[in-house]
Amino acid sequence: MNLAGFKRFLGLCGVRTEAEVNTAISTVGAGTLTAAAMVGGMITRSGSTAAYTDTTATATDIIDAMANATVGQSWTLRIKNTVAFAETISGGTGVTVSGVSVVPPLSVGTFLITVTAAGTVTMVGVGTQPLSNLPVAKFATTAAASPLTAAAGDLTGAQHVFFEITTDGAFGLTTRTAVEMFADTPNAQVGQTYLLTVVNKGNNTVTITGGTDVTITATATLATLVTRTYVVTFATATTITMQDVVKGTIET
């Protein structure tokens, strides 16, 4: 059996015979998942500035883009949504989409594509996962003298970071720079957010100052036995916003 015949045999068994290729699609707003990109097995999606819908190529075009396509042949397509907005997948003519059909912001969606007839294809969404798999929570504490510039990892590294200050007396806390905080976060992505809670267990007021290119919105001070929770957003790889959203009181 020659190579072409062997590949056809594998195709009859439903085995992918083409090398995986990553295709970048940067359309702003609704776009088309081209046949070549879908057959390639990996799509990296960027560009959109709001929630958007991408439509697949037609089933006929997908099948034509395959080498030695056979009914029953299937392969896995991963779609990497690198923007901070949801991507909805819609089927083109002859393509039926089922299962998971929305790739959340900053996530990868996995789809099983199957040629079901000469002009029909199914695309079953089997799951999604975030691009950055941070721990759920993290706790750090300091009794250092004021003023303090946060060390690497003090204010980053989890979906919800708790930073406790136990120093008595007026305390000044400066964050690391935006560039440093982005680098401190494993697999950080532009648009990614997490929660940061600063806990003041010292006997005085804590004042938080943003490092270079870190902007703190609303209140940046904490009285004694007070917590403040911020939504931290990587607006770009070099700029961060910290939005104050919740004030809490510590019971003693």
**Residue 1 pLDDT level (bands cut at 50, 70, 90):** very low
Q: Give me 247's structure tokens.
A: 């004030």
Q: Give me 90's structure tokens.
A: 């819609």
Give the global pTM: 0.77
Amino acid identity, residue 50?
A: A
> Across residues 196-203, what is the average pLDDT?
96
Q: Using one digit for the tens of pLDDT, what is the confidence trace for 99-124?
A: 999 999 999 999 999 999 999 999 99
* Res. 9: pLDDT tops 60: no
Let me know how many helices (H) and strands (E) the chain has, helices first: 4, 20
Q: Give me 94's structure tokens.
A: 């002859």
> Across residues 179-190, what is the average pLDDT?
93
β-strand pairing of 226-234 with 240-249: antiparallel
* Residue 109 to residue 60: CA distance in whole angstroms: 23
* Residue 24 to residue 45: CA distance in whole angstroms: 6
Q: Using one digit for the tens of pLDDT, what is the confidence trace for 126-137?
A: 999 988 888 999
Phi-psi region of 59 (alpha: psi -120 to 50; beta: other; left: phi over 0): alpha
Where is average pLDDT lowest: 9-23, 78-92, 185-199, 202-216? Answer: 9-23
Convert 94-118 to b/e letters by CB count within 10 Å (16 or more is b).
Answer: bbebeebbebbbbbbbbbebbbeee
DSSP state of 144: P
pLDDT at residue 131, as a whole number: 87
* Residue 227 to residue 197: CA distance in whole angstroms: 7
Find all residues with CB under 8 Å of 49, minimum gap 6, and list them. 28, 29, 83, 85
Amino acid identity, residue 105?
A: P
pLDDT at residue 214, as a whole number: 98
The overall average pLDDT reported for the chain is 92
* Residue 211 to residue 190: CA distance in whole angstroms: 18
Find all residues with CB under 8 Å of 9, minimum gap 6, and list them. 1
Domain boundaries in the chain? Answer: 3-130, 137-249
pLDDT at residue 135, as a whole number: 92
Q: Dihedral angle at the C-alpha atoms of 25, 28, 34, 37, nearest 10 degrees?
A: 20
Alpha helices (runs of H) in 104-197, residue ranges in sequence order: 178-184
The proportion of the chain whose per-residue pLDDT surpasses 90, expressed as a percent, equals: 84
